[in-house]
Structure 1
């Protein structure tokens, strides 16, 4: 049974996404681009001057190794191998905050609906969704969320009343 995968961003589902993570069963077609593992990306970048590349980071990968190549990347995918493994949240935050990566940042793997608002807060732009419940809820526009947060993040929290001791992420106008 084939798994349905959909790419979602805050504006809705994306049609015709060209990026593929190759496996033994899945190979990139003629109009598709490959998300390379970190070691393969570094090797390709060292051998060529190509731009518009894509990389998939796995939980144990060191994000700092991407720094010399960020300007050549069109997309970085961070992997959530299990719902209980949150290392990709840290990778996304490091890419956005410390390395100032501004192109597409995608979550792939075991993505559940409850994680999506947190992914958006750390700067993830697109989500590769295979979970049927998540696909249904996202298509209905039913995104869970909490308006108050303890930590500032890439994406600002909704404005509103809060406790004076809580920190909120500031919008560009507030900063």
Structure 2
């Protein structure tokens, strides 16, 4: 079972569905389309409020002309040891200035959630039983000291977002 989690808690009735040959968005649901299908749809219409799924091998910069029309970008973590989605998230937030919802899908593990948050990911499609349990108990692991740059800015009064101690 997949649940959507944000820092404010679990989300009920999330409308986004990753479309495959077997699963299609129906009724009030909205489609998260693979990159090529998304671009095809965007080129054929003037629709806004679209959703796209970015796989690890995709070139996220292909989204640049369509960013103002995208409501959500889902970045896929197919395995815990495949970190390309971290790079996609950072690129979207920092270089392409994407400000709408950025969701982690796939193998979302509790230990990686704080790092995903630092890259600018703000919602998570969680299926891992341990992650679901810990998130429901509000037991997100912390990282005390950060030395790398981040999409999240430092708290007021702190000058270096990459050199700070977390509370």
TM-score (norm 2): 0.91
Find the counterpart in structure 2 of residue 162 from structure 1.
Answer: none
* Consecutive unaligned residues in structure 1, runs of 5 or more: 160-166, 171-175
- Of 119, 125, 149 in structure 1, the residue corresponding to residue 146 of structure 2 is 149
The answer as to whether partners of 1:96 and 1:102 remain within 8 angstroms in 2 is yes
* Consecutive unaligned residues in structure 2, runs of 5 or more: 163-167
Which string of whole-angstrom CA distances, capped at 9 and with x for unpartnered residues, describes residues 127-167 of structure 1? 000001000000000000112111120124679xxxxxxx9
- Of 18, 38, 41 in structure 2, the residue corresponding to residue 41 of structure 1 is 38
Higher strand share: 2
Find the counterpart in structure 1 of residue 79 from structure 2.
Answer: 82
Q: Distance in 1 between matches of 2:153 and 2:71?
A: 24
TM-score (norm 1): 0.87
For this pair of structures, how many residues does the alignment match?
A: 160
Find the counterpart in structure 2 of residue 134 from structure 1.
Answer: 131
Find the counterpart in structure 2 of residue 20 from structure 1.
Answer: 17
Superposition pairs for residues 1-175 of structure 1, below 5 Å? 4-156=1-153, 168-169=160-161
Measured at CA, do residues 145 and 137 of structure 1 come closer, stay the same or move farther in structure 2, by a change above 3 Å? same
Find the counterpart in structure 2 of residue 164 from structure 1.
Answer: none
The answer as to whether partners of 1:82 and 1:109 remain within 8 angstroms in 2 is yes
Q: Distance in 2 between matches of 1:116 and 1:64?
A: 24
SS at the partner of 1:75? Answer: strand
Root-mean-square deviation (CA, aligned residues, Å) is 1.6
Measured at CA, do residues 136 and 93 of structure 1 come closer, stay the same or move farther in structure 2, by a change above 3 Å? same
Deviating above 6 A after TM superposition, structure 1's stretches of 4 or more consecutive aligned residues are none
